[in-house]
Amino acid sequence: MVVPGGGALADQVRAVQPQWGLSDAAAHRMALLAMEKMAHAMLDLAPRLKPARTPAELTAAAAKGAALWFPATMTLGHAAIAESWDVTSDSLALWLAAVLVADRLVLVKAPGAPLLPAP
């Protein structure tokens, strides 16, 4: 299963948030939608990926190949997901792995992406 990051689209949300005076909750929702838009871009670039929005769709898509998560359906307004910049695509990938009771999670970062030091 592939979890898209928000990429440059989420970076733009970060840039406009203070300019427009947006709340963290609004910026969070916009960043989730940036992840959704990146999923559309990834699907266009790699059409063999299988789009999925729910746990059942993800499981079915993964059985046929590589599932691509479109996160808005499962995440927007979810009570267990804080509406702040503390939530990232990485933490959502971990959340999704827990929801799906996945055996493992592998994070693949873009070249040059900042990594947090190990605790």
Q: CA 34 to CA 27: how far, in whole Å?
A: 10
Query: What does the pLDDT read at residue 113?
Result: 65
pLDDT of residue 17: 97
User: How far is 65 from 110, CA to CA, in rounded Å?
Assistant: 22
Task: Phi first, then psi: give them for residue 116, nearest 5 degrees.
Answer: -80, 145
Determine the average pLDDT of the residues in 84-94. Answer: 95
Q: Give yes or no for residue 9 having a pLDDT over 70.
A: yes
User: What's the pLDDT band for 111 if we cut at 50, 70, 90?
Assistant: confident
pLDDT (tens digit per residue) in 27-66 = 999 999 999 999 999 999 999 999 999 999 999 999 998 9
Write down the pLDDT at residue 27.
97
pLDDT at 119 over 90: no
